[in-house]
Amino acid sequence: MKIKEIIVVEGKSDTIAVKRATGADTIETNGSAIDEKTLVRIQHAQETRGVIVFTDPDYPGRRIRAIIEEHVVGVKHAFLEKKKTIAKNGQGLGIEHAIDEDIREAIRSVYTTDNDEVTDIPLAYLMAARLIGHPDARKRREKLSELLRIGQVNGKGLKKRLEMFRIDQDKLNEVLKVLDEEEENE
Contact between 82 and 154 (Cβ < 8 Å): no
Confidence at residue 74, expressed as pLDDT on a 0 to 100 scale: 86
Amino acid at 112: T
Average pLDDT, the chain: 88
Lowest mean pLDDT among 12-16, 107-111, 177-181: 107-111
* Phi, psi dihedrals of residue 120, rounded to the nearest 5°: -125, 115
Delineate the domains of the chain, giving CATH numbers in brackets: 6-112 (3.40.50.140), 123-184 (no CATH)
* Crossing angle of helices 59-71 and 36-48, rounded to 10°: 60
pTM: 0.70
Residue 111 β-bridge partners: 77
Residue 76 β-bridge partners: 52, 112
Amino acid at 102: D
**pLDDT tens column, 43-92:** 999 999 999 999 998 889 988 998 998 899 889 999 888 888 887 887 78
Confidence at residue 48, expressed as pLDDT on a 0 to 100 scale: 92
Question: Mean pLDDT across the stretch 30-46?
Answer: 91
Instruction: Judge whether residue 115 has pLDDT over 70.
Output: no
Instruction: Judge whether residue 148 has pLDDT over 80.
Output: yes
Instruction: Judge whether residue 185 has pLDDT over 60.
Output: yes
Give the 3-state secondary structure of residue 112: strand
Closest by alpha carbon to 137, among 156, 118, 160? Answer: 156
